[in-house]
Amino acid sequence: ETGVTQTPRHLVMGMTNKKSLKCEQHLGHNAMYWYKQSAKKPLELMFVYNFKEQTENNSVPSRFSPECPNSSHLFLHLHTLQPEDSALYLCASSQDPTGTQYFGPGTRLLVL
C-alpha cells in the first residue's frame, strides 16, 4: 500500500451516532492534516499534527475529535454531528509542515 489511504470511503450516520474516520500514510511523513470540503466551498483546514502533536485547531467544533497515535496514523472521531457536517473529509500528509501536502481519496460523509 502506498501513499495516503482513508477508510471508510463513504459513511452515512445519524445525528446520535459515533463513528471514526481513519487515515494512514505510507510516505514516512511527519505532519498530517484533516480538511473538510463542503459543496461549492474551498477546502477548509481542520487540524494539523506534527510529530503526533496537534499544532493547529482551526476553530473546529468539539463534536470533531482528532487523534494521532503515531506519525503514520490519524483518526477523526465523530459524535452528535449535524446535517451541515455532511461533506468530503480529506486527510493529507507532508514531510514537515512546510512541505508539499499529499492527499488521500477522502471519506464522503452524509449525516442524516
Partner 1 sequence: DQQVKQNSPSLSVQEGRISILNCDYTNSMFDYFLWYKKYPAEGPTFLISISSIKDKNEDGRFTVFLNKSAKHLSLHIVPSQPGDSAVYFCAASGRNSGGSNYKLTFGKGTLLTVNP
Query: Of 43, 63, 71, 75, which one interacts with partner 1 (CB under 8 A)?
Result: 43
Confirm or reject binding of residue 111 to partner 1 (CB under 8 A): no
Confirm or reject binding of residue 38 to partner 1 (CB under 8 A): no
CB of 106 to partner 1, least distance (A): 5
Confirm or reject binding of residue 90 to partner 1 (CB under 8 A): yes
CB of 51 to partner 1, least distance (A): 12
Distance CA 82, CA 56 (A): 23
**Residue ranges in contact with partner 1 by CB under 8 A:** 4, 6, 40-43, 45, 48, 50, 55-56, 90, 92, 97-98, 100-106
